[in-house]
Amino acid sequence: MAQFEYGSTLGMLMVPEVVSALGDIRELKGKTASLSATSPETFSALIEVAKIQSTGASNRIENISTSDKRLRELMADKTDPRNRDEREIAGYRYVLDEIHESHDNIPVTPNIILQLHRDLYRFSGDSYAGRWKDADNVIAERTAEGKLVARFVPTSAASTPAAVERICSEYSRQIDARAYDPLLVSLVFIFDFVSIHPFNDGNGRMSRLLTLLLMYRNGYDVGKYISIEKEIEGSKKTYYEALQASSSGWQDGENDYVPFVTYMLGVVIACYRELDSRFSIATLPVGNEEAIRAFFDRLVGTATKREIMDSNPNMSQRTLERILAKLQDEGVVEKIGAARSTAYRRRG
């Protein structure tokens, strides 16, 4: 199979696990679409939380971070970036806002991808912003002995512009043909984008921003309300394993896209299910302790007060603290840690 022949690639992806996952997503998508039509205010309350979580998670995956307080101030545009990490976080926020507000008017072309990359670094001023890589790069990993070894060799710098042009063309051709689910076409495009690794820096973050763009343009808007990037961060080890499993033979068009595609479809399913759960909780009366009980019923591990509030965006901090105190008195919930490390979990 030749590289970037999407007709052949997509045909080979129609295996039971992929077809089943796509069916689950269509069912969940239909359910949440009807819910958003009847209760738009509930969905609107989730948008800002998802933006904050998406920006924080996507950058943390690349070891770019700041405090939760600073992240929220940057997202609200209430402060100026203080350092390199915060400038990159502010850039991500800017591109994410563009995609949220104008996705239908952002076509998938090489020039648009360059513009989005330029905007990703608009607060950093890097010379490589909005430019294809000018040197060959290697995706490396560190062994248990601490040695860096090449895991994957992406497309050469000289061949990158033509490769990006090709995947954009193939993507558009398949979307217009409507022979395959556009979500499936989008995930093949994203894997090829990551594998080309077209920039000197920012490839991972750009791939996640492009994932949202392609999903929104094709009607899969769950990422507006539930952070896809946060779901990926929570399964980062599996994410990298899926990338590696699908990489072998990629340069010759002989790789297997199934591991990466099934992983990403699983992420999308998890986000739709979380949205359905959040909606059920959010429609309870504001201040209803049943919402917090329901949160802990489905919680695995621990959650900070901020994480609980993010899942219940209509609830005030004072109300949450009152309910947490009651649940602790009842022995339903216990507090662990102290100060900034304070978290809560269900007992028993």
pLDDT in tens, 32-60: 877 777 777 777 778 989 999 999 999 99
Domain map (residue ranges) of the chain: 6-282, 289-346
- With pLDDT > 90 as the criterion, what percentage of the chain qualifies? 66
Residue tagged 């062994």 (tokens): 143
**CA dist., res. 325 & res. 243, Å (int):** 44
Smallest CA-to-CA distance from 5 within 156, 161, 174 is with 174
Q: Is 77 left (phi over 0), alpha (psi -120 to 50) or beta?
A: left
Q: Which of 306, 234, 232, 233 is nearest to 263 (CA)?
A: 232
Q: 11: pLDDT confidence band, cut at 50, 70 and 90?
A: very high
Give 194's contacts (C-beta < 8 A, 6+ positions apart): 203, 204, 207, 243
281 pLDDT band, cuts 50/70/90, is low
Q: Which two tokens stand for residue 137?
A: 């790069």
Q: How many angstroms separate the Cα of 105 from the Cα of each of 56, 100, 214?
A: 26, 11, 12
Q: What pLDDT is recorded for position 324?
A: 86
pLDDT recorded at residue 283: 62
**% residues pLDDT > 70 (the chain):** 96
Q: What is the mean pLDDT of residues 306-333?
A: 84
Q: Where is pLDDT greater, at 4 or 314?
A: 4
| Beta-carbon contacts of residue 277 (< 8 Å; ≥ 6 apart) | 298
Report the alpha-carbon distance of residue 301 to residue 291 in Å, rounded. 18
**DSSP letter for each residue of 247-258:** HTTGGGT----H
Sequence letter at residue 199:
F
Q: Which two tokens stand for residue 280?
A: 């059920």
Per DSSP, helices labelled H in the chain are 6-12, 16-38, 40-61, 68-75, 84-102, 110-120, 160-177, 182-196, 203-217, 228-234, 236-247, 258-282, 289-297, 305-311, 317-330
Q: Determine contact, residues 54/228, Cβ cutoff 8 Å.
A: yes
Confidence band for 299, pLDDT divided at 50, 70 and 90: confident
Considering the chain, what is the average pLDDT of its residues?
91
Q: What value does the mean pLDDT take over residues 316-321? A: 84
Digit-coded pLDDT (tens) for 16-37: 999 999 999 999 999 887 777 7
Which residue has tokens 């948008």?
Answer: 47
In CATH, the architecture of 6-282 is Orthogonal Bundle (1.10)
pTM of the model: 0.86
Q: Which DSSP letter does residue 132 get?
A: -
Q: What is the pLDDT of residue 1?
A: 56
Question: What is the pLDDT at residue 325?
Answer: 85
- The pLDDT value recorded for residue 231 is 96
Does the pLDDT of residue 202 top 80, yes or no? yes
Confidence class for position 225, pLDDT limits 50, 70, 90: very high
- The pLDDT-based confidence of 295 (bands split at 50, 70, 90) is confident
Structurally, what CATH architecture does the domain formed by 289-346 represent?
Orthogonal Bundle (1.10)
pLDDT tens, residue by residue, 142-171 = 667 777 777 789 999 999 999 999 999 999
Amino acid identity at 44: S
